[in-house]
Amino acid sequence: MLHDYALELYSHAIMTATHSLPASTSRAGLLPRSARGIDPAGGPRRIRVGIIGATGYVGAELIRILARHPDVELVGLAGRGRDHEPIAGIHPHLAGTGLTVHSELPPSDAVFLALPHGAAAALVPDLIAAGTAIIDQGPDFRLTDPADYPRWYGFEHPRPDLLELAVYGLPEFHRAELSALVDAEVAIVGAPGCYPTATLLALAPLARAGLIGDLVVDAKSGVSGAGREAKPELHFGEVNESVKAYGLGGHRHVAEIEQELATITAREGLDPGVNPGIIAVDFLPHLIPMTRGILSACHVRPTRPVSQSELDELYAATYADEPFVTVVSTPPATKQVTGSNQVLVHVRRDERTDRILAIGVEDNLVKGAAGQAVQAFNLVHGLPETAGLDQLPLVP
């Protein structure tokens, strides 16, 4: 959780944003989100967006994507301890945006929060009081049960009442709930974690069919997933030419994976016990010497005999109309999605062991973080889901 000084700085940014709202935007007179940013003269729609936590890797990706979004006006960036600092001094590759990072945030229709664990939950109440839509990149609104926060994240959730209003921001399985926030009084999106995104998209068709008898997830992430803060174990000399397992005994993302697999199962009208493998997921992440990318390899012992053709049909039916998920016939590589909001999914039945191998790959900073958050933002504001996310992968 943020130390008191940092929390005070972020609180100042929030208070400035909410208390400086003009009188015409009192809560009773707030425009519905479907009408925010519309030009009465017929010009392009421009929704006012702010980012708190703009100095990290996820903050940088949010700026990169939103600066080119056709319906967004980036009105403010806030960073801890920053005061009128050009973004070029923090993220040189974003110099062309001409943006500046401040300690205060101007009034915004939507705010993306890229903050440490526990920070967003304390700040969100003031933002939603001003009618601001929240897209939280951290874990503070991902879990539905308040009791899970002390266990998995080490803090008591300060606003469990808001958890009931938050929507898990995986559009492929929560599209209707995200779209329903367009004209809702409160809009809070808990953006999924990077590991859960690749894992859930790889496994969802199996959960829908009640096929997960036993589950082991072996996942690998590039170093950017650990954030931008300097840590001895992330120095080049420590990471290069080395692979390390971590999070043994229960990585915090297990909570999301189990929660959402149970939700997917329930939505199919299935008894929770039909997928016994989702009750206690065996999840082991690894840090590997690359910058971006996640590969999640899911080893499933099926609950019944299943053929490759049935698996192919399940996955094709699930993702036929998804703009950012593609089912591929050969095992995918992370490099095939670098810089894009795409996820590649592969499924294969091993005839010798009778296990199912489901693989998902993504760019952890795009579909695993900033890109997926923008995808949810689009739905919350009634925009085309793909707006601002049309960039192709970068190879080599």
**194 annotated active-site:** yes
**323, burial (CB in 10 Å: exposed 0-12, middle 13-18, buried 19+):** middle
Whole-angstrom distance, CA of residue 338 vs CA of residue 57: 15
- Alpha-carbon gap, residue 29 to 37, rounded angstroms: 15
- Residue 168 CA to its chain's centroid (Å): 9
Q: How far apart are CA 333 and CA 330, in angstroms?
A: 10
388 SS3 class: coil
The H or E element that residue 75 is part of is strand 72-78
The rounded distance, in Å, linking the Cα atoms of 182 and 260 is: 23
Helix or strand (DSSP H, E) at 12: helix 4-19
Q: Which residue of the set 143, 167, 194, 207 is catalytic? A: 194
d(CA 20, CA 32): 20
3-state secondary structure of 145: coil
Catalytic machinery residues: 194
